[in-house]
Amino acid sequence: MARRRSRARERELTTLLARGTDDHYLDPLLYDFEYGDQTADVEWYCALVDARVPDRVELGGSGTVLELGAGSGRVTIPLARGGHRIIALDRMEPMLEHLALKVRRLEQADYPIEGEIEALVADMTAIPLADDSVSLVVAPFNCLMHLYTWQELLACFCEVARVLEPGGTFACDVLMPDLEWLQWDPNERHAVTPFEHPRTGRKMIYSTNHEYDHDTQVCHIRIYYDSAKGGRLRPRTTPDHVVHLAHRQIFPEELRMLVGVAGLKLESHTGDFLNLSLNEDIEAQALIARKPVRE
C-alpha cells in the first residue's frame, strides 16, 4: 500500500507552493529582463484579439478583453497598443504596479498606448466581474500552472465561462509536460548563465534545478542567483538567493476536460503558437475555446 505523506512533508509542500506562487513575481524588473524578449506568444494573442474584438476604443467600441495573470504587462501592453480595452487581472501587486509604471513611461516618452488598461488585483479563481461582461479572456504564459489543484483549475475555467459574453473566446497557453525533463536530477544545476542584474548592475550567475511531485503533478523549480564576484563563473554550493517557482503540470486531455466541464467549446489545441500538433517536441500548448451562444 502507498505510504501516506508525513505532516512535516505536507507543511513543507504548503510552504513551497506559497513561495512558488509569489517569489518569482516580487522583482518585476528581473522578470522582464528574463522573459521580455519572448515574442511568439505575444504575436499569437495580439492576432487573435485583433481578429475577434474588432470594436476598438478609439472607434467607441465596448469590446473588453480580460487578461488573467497579466503580470508586468508583457502581453497587456502590445494588446492595448492594438487599441483594445484590457482588464489586467493579477494577484501580485508589484507586477501590476510595474505595468502601471511602464504605461506612464510610455506616455512621458510621447508613445502612449492607444487602448485602455485597467489593473485589477484579484484571484483568477474568483473574478470580480459581472456575468457575460467581456468579449474575450486570455490566460498567457503558463499562469494557469499556478492553480495547483483540480478544484482551483475548474473554479477558474467556470469563472471564465461565467464572465464571457455568449460567443466570446477564451485563449490560454501552458507548457506541455516534458516527461524526460521532469525526471532530471534535482541536485544538479542546469541552465547556468552569467548575467548582469538589471537593477543592481551586479554580475551574477543564474542556474536552476527542479523536483517533480508525481502525486500533485506539481514541479517545484528552484532558481539560483549567485554572485559572480571575482570572475567566478560557477554556481556556489550555498547560493546567495533562491527563488521558488511551482508549476502544476497540465496534460492535454486534462486541459480539454476543463474546457468541456466548464461548458466551453474547444476550437483548437495546438503547439508552440504555430498550429503544430501536440507531441513530445513542442513546448507550449495553445488552446482556443468559445462560450456557446444561447438558443
Q: Compare residues 144 and 264 and give the one whose CB is closer to ligand SAM.
A: 144
Taking alpha carbons only, the member of 136, 144, 122 closest to residue 258 is 144
By CB under 6 A, name the binding residues for ligand SAM: 21, 25, 35, 69-71, 74-75, 89-92, 95, 123-125, 140-143, 146
Min CB(36)–ligand SAM separation in Å = 9
Q: Compare residues 235 and 273 and give the one whose CB is closer to ligand SAM.
A: 273
CA 182 distance to own-chain centroid? 19
Q: Compare residues 85 and 91 and give the one whose CB is closer to ligand SAM.
A: 91
Q: Compare residues 84 and 91 and give the one whose CB is closer to ligand SAM.
A: 91
Min CB(53)–ligand SAM separation in Å = 18
Q: Rounded distance, CA 227 to CA 270, Å?
A: 40
Q: Compare residues 42 and 53 and give the one whose CB is closer to ligand SAM.
A: 42
Q: Compare residues 115 and 235 and give the one whose CB is closer to ligand SAM.
A: 115
The set of residues, in sequence order, having a beta carbon less than 8 Å from that of 109 and lying 6+ positions away, is: none
Cell, residue 223: 532558481
Q: Compare residues 75 and 255 and give the one whose CB is closer to ligand SAM.
A: 75
Q: Rounded distance, CA 149 to CA 100, Å?
A: 31
Min CB(140)–ligand SAM separation in Å = 4
Put residue 273 in one of left, alpha, beta given phi > 0 → left and psi -120 to 50 → alpha.
left
Element housing 119 (H / E): strand 116-121
Contact between 290 and 267 under an 8 Å Cβ cutoff? The reply is: yes
Min CB(44)–ligand SAM separation in Å = 12
Min CB(271)–ligand SAM separation in Å = 18
Min CB(169)–ligand SAM separation in Å = 17
Min CB(107)–ligand SAM separation in Å = 21
Nearest-Å Rg of the Cα atoms of the chain is 20
The angle formed by the CA atoms of residues 111, 98 and 199, to the nearest 5 degrees, is: 100
- Alpha helix (H) residue ranges in the chain: 7-22, 28-35, 40-52, 76-81, 93-108, 150-163, 179-182, 252-261
